[in-house]
Structure 1
């Protein structure tokens, strides 16, 4: 007998729910149709379902996302970095307490000594014909962030290979839910041929028909819920082998519109706004934002960053502000609206010479109009790179705090974590630094406002 098994999969939705109703309606109808044919099906998510830039996710700290996954009847999920490193330890620890699906992450453990009840390295799905499918999951390495949040993160590929070796003895098919990115997926396919399919994510790659590497099929469905993956595996019950695996990708924008689906997204936003409508502080004046030069808001935020970190100087891009602060009562919703990014503060230790190099690099004429995507940034354009408490005088000498700097002395620069990943300032990647987790930029502003405004 040849058994056909279907796996619908999503990844990197990032709380973009515009197509969620029609996507889930389509999947449900497909699963019902396949069930009538005697063909089993499963529904999987490969991480970053949530994103705290969305006010519904922010207001519910991701638990609203879990409810949505429950309602859609997901079978197995893994976590992405947006679940893993944007929540306080206890919030992630209890995020999936009410989940009706398996959560699998082979390379994550709590430093408290006891992992949450939902956390497991893999699960085994069984079809009505007795075919056993081992599903293992792993998430990307962000060791400095996980360490600050009281979690241990292990090398994902090594953890996967060790567990697949054990799992292979007990199952007929092995799937890997990988929130590692395309490069690691390609390496894993070569290093672990016992995996039948690697369902990929994290780097938002799109494989319309999958990609085959050494008989391991790789998948990827882009980002923001634009696509739904449909993996079909044919299994020979008599020979106990996979004889065919095929991936197709459905473009959700082309699916039929569902009645009232626009109201769905609106209702989530309304719920989020109501939950976040809590006063934080009152301001006696308006703070405007500017994307191409300094503003009242940027000067206020520089004070926030310096007080919070105790650093010598501050640097951030003006594009982080999506709006200004109005005069009067400021709520959690107001602050989230202008600083929606899941970005943390970071202090980097640099010599005077390195500080001068940073200052010169910060004048890059191409950066202000850059339409930055990723790195935690959720704005429209990068904006001017603003520096506070360090500058060059007329003689080209570096000033820090108004004084001529000692070029060999170490100084502390408060900035945004997204600058430490090497894209803008390569030297930051290996410099000594401290990340301030779990607080986001909006939390730093809120704390300062409560104390001083």
Structure 2
């Protein structure tokens, strides 16, 4: 009789504050498994890194990879945070120093070759000869992966052939699934050849897993709040039983050095970003949510410049801090705009542009204090909507673009954010908008380029902390 223990993490999103306890738990479980003659495996299901943390931003996820190396992960797949938050060349080399394989079956280069950093599958052989097959899939964002020169494939086009190829060669077949719980439940029903699906992406928690016929589905929520455990009893290379449970990370005893370790992660990232100078502001750019909006107004000009568009819209909740006068750094901009949000240029007929502005008018008061979450947003509230190049007369319901009232059949463009396309408050964008998503820059990197051009560093200032 063989006992196996799989420890799994998913959607850590660079929450370094939980990393010391997670690392300690993994180490303790490995020692316990060794004492009880269980074999341990450790997998991650994607979105391990997130550029919201300054250390991830400063190292382009290399700090995350180093932490995973220290825990001796056996394998991982990627999530959309890795796939869409970094440009093509950075992702291609993100795992150059990883001591674990990336298992990924539906991301391809434009020439339809697998990227050099991935393996399509992996077979582990346990100490007594049981063969465990591993597959990996990530959420197929068909609209955005091509903008980063990736060819992303739908699950139904790749998984059947992979199962057919790998299932006869292994005793246990596992899918690392960064697809979300609804897709995972469907796959349990559709592909009973899968013994185990370890899930993520939709940040769901399955405290004891879900058993669908003979397929066990598990997931451990988000941010390292939980750690997943799966126990398999195997006899003569055949699974006899499976159980799963999650442990809440806050129940793991804290040690005195944890706070210092967490602070060091933060300080190291901030210091690296502080060493990268961007611009020299002649005056402070306040990020006030009411009244004058100096930072927002400047950012509106930045996204107009980047999209070659004479009109723009942003929301004040995006701007978390002021930019003080003098030299500003990448750290200043990262603190102000930590979001994983890209620009978007939308073209609409005058008729549809008017409707979009009516949606803005209708939702403005509601959104001003709305607690927005997800879709790349890393702030707290949506905030007020600020327009440039467009004026709405709410009394008469007239809309003026560059001082001229809209002509119904004429085309108009506006610089926005892809975030506004993915939330439900502006349906016109999704229904009729000609939307050009602009990758790979985030809002903050576009803002940095604009500020560097408009307010260049002075003679004698060089790349060092201010």
1:357 aligns with 2:347: no
Partner of 2:379: 379
Structure 1: how far apart are the matches of 2:411 and 2:139? 32
Query: Residue by residue, what CA displacement relative to the aligned partner does 1:382-440 show, whole Å, maximum 9, x if unpaired?
Result: 11122221223353222111111111222222111111125222332343211111111
**How many pairs align?**
450
TM-score of the superposition, structure 1-length normalised?
0.96
Contact 1:294 1:386 in 2 (8 A): no
Partner of 1:342: 340
**Shift in Å, 1:149:** 0.8
What SS class does the counterpart of residue 128 from structure 2 fall into?
A: coil
What SS class does the counterpart of residue 144 from structure 2 fall into?
A: helix
Partner of 1:249: 246
**Shift in Å, 1:116:** 3.7
Contact 1:345 1:440 in 2 (8 A): yes
Contact 1:294 1:318 in 2 (8 A): no
Instruction: Give the stretch that moved more between structures: 265-274 or 40-49.
Output: 265-274
Unpaired runs of 5+ residues, structure 1, are none
What SS class does the counterpart of residue 220 from structure 1 fall into?
A: strand
Pair 1:255–1:195, CA change in 2 (3 A):
same
1:37 aligns with 2:30: no
Partner of 1:286: 284
Instruction: Give the stretch that moved more between structures: 258-267 or 329-338.
Output: 258-267
Query: Residue by residue, what CA displacement relative to the aligned partner does 1:73-107 show, whole Å, maximum 9, x if unpaired?
Result: 10010000010011111100000011110101100
Structure 2: how far apart are the matches of 1:435 and 1:446? 19
What SS class does the counterpart of residue 345 from structure 1 fall into?
A: strand
Contact 2:112 2:151 in 1 (8 A): no
Query: Residue by residue, what CA displacement relative to the aligned partner does 1:198-247 show, whole Å, maximum 9, x if unpaired?
Result: 1111110011111122332111111111000001111221xx42221111
**Shift in Å, 1:25:** 1.0
1:9 aligns with 2:8: yes
Partner of 1:410: 411
**Shift in Å, 1:292:** 4.2
* 2:326 counterpart (314, 325, 328): 328
Structure 2: how far apart are the matches of 1:36 and 1:227? 24
Instruction: Give the stretch that moved more between structures: 12-21 or 157-166.
Output: 157-166
- 1:380-395, aligned counterparts within 5 Å? 380-393=380-393, 395=396
Contact 1:422 1:429 in 2 (8 A): no
Instruction: Give the stretch that moved more between structures: 403-412 or 80-89.
Output: 403-412
Partner of 1:439: 441
Structure 1: how far apart are the matches of 2:64 and 2:300? 34
Structure 1: how far apart are the matches of 2:101 and 2:31? 21
1:271 aligns with 2:273: no
Pair 1:293–1:85, CA change in 2 (3 A):
farther
Pair 1:242–1:347, CA change in 2 (3 A):
same
What SS class does the counterpart of residue 97 from structure 1 fall into?
A: coil
Structure 2: how far apart are the matches of 1:78 and 1:92? 13
Query: Residue by residue, what CA displacement relative to the aligned partner does 1:109-161 show, whole Å, maximum 9, x if unpaired?
Result: 12266544321121111110111111111111112221111111000243223
Pair 1:197–1:114, CA change in 2 (3 A):
closer
Contact 1:352 1:398 in 2 (8 A): no
Contact 1:7 1:42 in 2 (8 A): yes
Partner of 2:255: 258
Query: Residue by residue, what CA displacement relative to the aligned partner does 1:287-309 show, whole Å, maximum 9, x if unpaired?
Result: 11122455011111110011110
Partner of 1:222: 221
What SS class does the counterpart of residue 168 from structure 1 fall into?
A: helix
Query: Residue by residue, what CA displacement relative to the aligned partner does 1:281-336 show, whole Å, maximum 9, x if unpaired?
Result: 00110111122455011111110011110124211211000111100001111111
Partner of 2:316: 318
Contact 1:280 1:331 in 2 (8 A): yes
- 1:79-90, aligned counterparts within 5 Å? 79-90=78-89
Contact 2:16 2:265 in 1 (8 A): no
Query: Residue by residue, what CA displacement relative to the aligned partner does 1:339-372 show, whole Å, maximum 9, x if unpaired?
Result: 1111100112222122122212123122111111
Structure 2: how far apart are the matches of 1:201 and 1:384? 33
Pair 1:301–1:196, CA change in 2 (3 A):
same
Contact 1:359 1:391 in 2 (8 A): no
What SS class does the counterpart of residue 366 from structure 2 fall into?
A: coil
Structure 1: how far apart are the matches of 2:72 and 2:415? 44
Structure 2: how far apart are the matches of 1:338 and 1:441? 11
Structure 2: how far apart are the matches of 1:427 and 1:199? 37
Instruction: Give the stretch that moved more between structures: 66-75 or 259-268.
Output: 259-268
Contact 2:7 2:43 in 1 (8 A): yes
Contact 2:354 2:406 in 1 (8 A): no
Contact 2:356 2:429 in 1 (8 A): no
TM-score of the superposition, structure 2-length normalised?
0.94
